[in-house]
Structure 1
Amino acid sequence: MEKIKVGVLGASGYTGADLVRLALRHPAIDLTVLTANSHAGKPMRDVFKHFSHVDLPDLISIDDADWSSVDAVFCGLPHGTTQAIAQQIFRNDPKVKIVDMSADFRLRDPDVYKEWYGLDHVATEIQPEAVYGLTEHYRDEIAGARLIACPGCYPTAVLLSLLPLATAGLIDTTDIVIDAKSGVSGAGRGLKENTLFCEAGEGLSPYAVGKHRHMAEIEQEIGKASGRQDLRVNFTPHLIPMSRGELTTSYVRLEGGSTAADLKETLLTAYASDPFVTILDGETLPQTQMVRGSNYVATNVIPDRIPGRAIVISTLDNLVKGSAGQALQNFNLAFGLDETLGLEQLPLFP
């Protein structure tokens, strides 16, 4: 198989490292450039010990990277740092495809981006070329895209479980309450007091209540599906003391006489041919243990004891399907490869 030369921006972060882990077993990828400004000049094995037995390029600074030498770039940088680099690559290296795992191109409206991230969008001329990288819902667009904006981890779990229901008009999209929980890796690798072991361990903590930035993505996509531009959802995330994993519980009001069984049948039909989305049997409840380390999503619909309502639960690995795995899935589509290539590993249990 002919190799595709790949660069990874931000290879020293959790999502960048998981992308490297997956790419190392991808038969079509040649990891050529790895950047990490704070660790520039170091071997990857010095930054992540689990790479001690593999041969990888040394980490370099972004300024030293030669993007003309690669066919694709995965961006795992913090928000606000990808736009200028993507714009530069667009201008100077038109053959290079960009798969962005940051938030910089997810929101179609630059004004909405500024509202939620507090920064001016500095690449508005290429924003219209960005395809929202929710693979199962934008597959055709992703296949022809040069710039793919991968969704956040929370939006991926929520949207995969709710978009088919909103599109079919089975739920009242003005009355959605989402309870979300994520492992500590979702906060990134940087040193933060609230993610220290003694602060995060043996406890459960809500955060960014009423103002989490992923709300904007959820509202953008469910609003588009239901034709409501001013949609608002109730979303509360929580930090749970485990390394990886994510679970979202969405409480929805049924529309048009639909039932929980109708919602489940709609999801089964919507994802019948999708390799990574599993709608569980009966009333089996999704658990993070079902998807750990994999690109799979497990979802189910449970009737609520309150008439006219249902509970939709979804779980994924925030670093794989919620980030690096979905990015690799989109890469496969963009290069005409089998969508599952390099992502066939089953969940790790226990």
Structure 2
Amino acid sequence: MADEQPVPPTSGAVVGRCAALLGALGASVAAWEAAAFLRGRRSVDERWYRTVAQAADRVEDLGSTRWVEITPLVEWAAEREDLLTEAGVSYYVRTEERSILFDMGDNAACRFPSPLATNAALLDVPLQQVDAVFISHAHSDHLGGMEGEKQRRILLTDGGVHLARSVPAYCPVPLSGTGVTPVVCDQPRVIGPGLASTGAIPRYLFPEGELLEHGLVVRVEGHGLVLISGCGHPGLDRFLLRCEQVFGGPFGAFVGGLHLPVKDSRAKRYGVPLQRLLCTGKPPWLLPSELDAARAATELQSRQVPVVALSPHDSCDWTLDYFHRLFGEGFHRLTVGRTLRIGSV
């Protein structure tokens, strides 16, 4: 009797085995990523809570201003059809003694001049005369583009924004930039009469790891602290607690981003809702929820913050409508060309 020959596996069996191996490999990688994320988040959170327990020194010489105006130059929506929009942030912040360019937008379409430069010209905003630049954090939609994030550089002249003189650029991490002198605000810092940085506040994000972000604080006479946020990645609770510890209260307004894409994402790639998956402070299998929005709103309500002006660049319409219902006439949706004023001229 002839020896029996082994039966070669069919193509279907081979595909099945490969799929099983790839599935096992994918599961292993996912488990490793999950463990790494949880370790990193725990380490950053522990460091933050130690900082809170030590209580940063109180700033007694902040001073105040009679009023502040915030004019969005880059945002998701605009007041007029001729103004450009995108999922990025740039605000022109003006007080009675200072003017600050807060963030640079994204310029994802690589326009020249950039949406920031174009909108500033259309709105007659004298960017060349600003006293300072303030970068909330080192993401592309705040640095002026992806090249800025890759190179850790503030993209001013690249988009057609030219300053009349070199001015300080207050940043939470070391950055470079033409026409500015970067100043790292790792700790709370007074930057002008009634103006301050919260100092860098940490949060561990997926997939990049630790991110540092700071907010701009303005003390307005008769109103209290106005906190201006780029994305609020560290969490509203951390920003408000830092302000209370360092600058006292009360709060007159919260203005800016909270990164609460509860139902949808402004930024998408091939249909993937990037803002819901990335940079939320959660692992990607836990999406931003209605509970997250409720927690943020409670932080503001518990402090009786009368004015809440949210950025739509990183929060969905559901979130904006939810805050509108809660805060009523005190709620504002930030749009390019609509100036928010707090205090009296």
| TM-score clears 0.5 | no
- Radius of gyration: which is bigger? 2
